Amino acid sequence: MRSSCVLLTILVALAAYYVYIPLPSSVSDPWKLRLLDAVFRSVQQVTNLIHYLGLSHHLLALNFIINSLVKKNAWSSAEVKVTDTDFDGVEVRVFEGSPKPEEPLKRSVVYIHGGGWALASAKIKNYDELCTAMAKELNAVIVSIDYRLVPKVYFPEQIYDVVRATKYFLQPEVLHKYSVDPKRIGVSGDSAGGNLAATLTQQFNQDTNLKNKFKVQALIYPVLQALDFNTPSYQQNANTPILPRYVMVKYWVDYFKGNYDFVQEMIVNNHTSLDVKEAAALRARLNWTSLLPASIKKNYQPVVQTTGNARIIQKIPQLLDARSAPLIADQEVLQGLPKTYLLTCENDVVRDDGIMYAKRLESAGVEVTLDHFEGCFHGCMIFTSWPINFSVGIQAQNSYIKWLDQNL
């Protein structure tokens, strides 16, 4: 009996040691976040083992687990009609708010889910619930795009999917089918989906053949650049769940089908050192010492290597492609973009991507709302239902939908 108690005590202590990680004092529901992070880390370790044994690619294994646990069938209610279909060969889930006699035409949002260009789906519970809430509260048509993922496809195929599906939706006959007002269509996405939404908006704004343009774009903690992994937010939140810096850099490498051997060098900015000529012209567009306010910069210092590894950009030139990193787009591309909402989280490695993009857009004459949440962490907005409901996630989602209601 005594030995059993000792063993139990040891197991509890080990579990507590595994779960516990230091978190900033501002983080909402810290123990719930620690538990969520522990689950994520455990699943990732299992899928990494599966990959190591040659049984499956770790991302395919991870997605299989995600879909097994939280995939949700299209289920309609009295208030929202939900259907799965495809737009020009790209799978989408469409959410239609109830018709109102006084509003024959509805607003609409094209939504692009996050997941590092490799994980999740428009059909998992988290995004289904978000889009259902949007359709209901905005009385709108939400088109959630189920673009193809790494490792089945790589950059820029994800972009091609969202472009193709959105162009199909914007056809007059399709808008008529869904009773959508062509002048009240927005685009939105979170994380890597925010990246794709920003790229989509830039491309559509430059496309003179497109009759229907977006009225607004709403970007939720978007991933917008891969040149500098030592902005203040990357330094401050290097080990903050649920997106540590190392994991974010690996997502970038996966997106480009790159070599993991480069990850550690990219973390210290060896890929954009002063001797890498290809990066020189873009560095000024990402000068966070001038783009970020003092309250964000704090006492952090830029990390600019004098000499680095030029082979990284030679092998992965996509790192400097504005289609993958919309934050580094030419100023002319940013001019004329639609009214923009940017939601950022204090405890998030990509926080400064969003803040810098807001600054660059404002300098280009774009009307911007920057909605910053002190207690938020990356991904919080899709964690709003039991057992992984975070109060700050609910607040962020409400603020986001309220902005869309007032501006779309």
Over residues 207-263, the pLDDT tens digits come to 988 888 999 999 999 999 999 999 999 999 999 999 999 999 999 999 999 999 999
pLDDT at 10: 47
The answer, yes or no, to whether the previous bond of 326 is cis (omega within 30 of 0) is: no
> Looking at the predicted structure, is the pLDDT value of residue 46 above 70?
yes
pLDDT at 13: 44
Active site residue 348: yes
* Residue 3 pLDDT grade (very low, low, confident, very high; cuts 50, 70, 90): low
Residue type present at position 406: Q
CA 237 to chain centre: 16
In sequence order, the β-bridge partners of residue 94 are 83, 143
- Judge contact between 342 and 359, C-beta under 8 A: no
pLDDT at 359: 98
Nearest CA among 141, 221, 211, 184 for reference residue 339: 184
> Looking at the predicted structure, is the pLDDT value of residue 11 above 70?
no
* Residue 5 pLDDT grade (very low, low, confident, very high; cuts 50, 70, 90): low
Active site residue 191: yes
pLDDT at 275: 93
Active-site residue (options: 58, 113, 271, 378): 378
Distance CA 112, CA 100 (A): 26
Distance CA 361, CA 329 (A): 11
pLDDT in tens, 318-329: 999 999 999 999
Q: Pairing state of beta strands 140-145 and 90-97?
A: antiparallel
pLDDT at 6: 47
CA atoms lying within 13 Å on the CB side of residue 206: 13
Question: Which of these ranges, 3-7, 50-54, 179-183, 331-335, has the smallest mean pLDDT?
Answer: 3-7
- Judge contact between 140 and 106, C-beta under 8 A: yes
Element containing residue 245 per DSSP (H, E): helix 245-255
Active-site residue (options: 146, 161, 190, 348): 348
Residue type present at position 236: Q
> Looking at the predicted structure, is the pLDDT value of residue 4 above 70?
no
Question: Which whole-number Å values give the CA distances from 104 to 69, 98, 181, 297, in the listed order?
Answer: 38, 11, 9, 48
* Residue 21 pLDDT grade (very low, low, confident, very high; cuts 50, 70, 90): confident
Residue with tokens 């509003």: 103
Question: Which whole-number Å values give the CA distances from 136 to 80, 213, 319, in the listed order?
Answer: 6, 24, 39
> Looking at the predicted structure, is the pLDDT value of residue 312 above 70?
yes
Rounded (5°) CA angle 221-226-347: 35
Q: Pairing state of beta strands 368-377 and 339-347?
A: parallel
Nearest CA among 124, 92, 121, 96 for reference residue 108: 96
Active site residue 385: no
pLDDT at 212: 86
Active-site residue (options: 108, 191, 273, 324): 191
Task: Quote the pTM value.
Answer: 0.95
Residue with tokens 């012209």: 281
In sequence order, the β-bridge partners of residue 218 are 188, 341
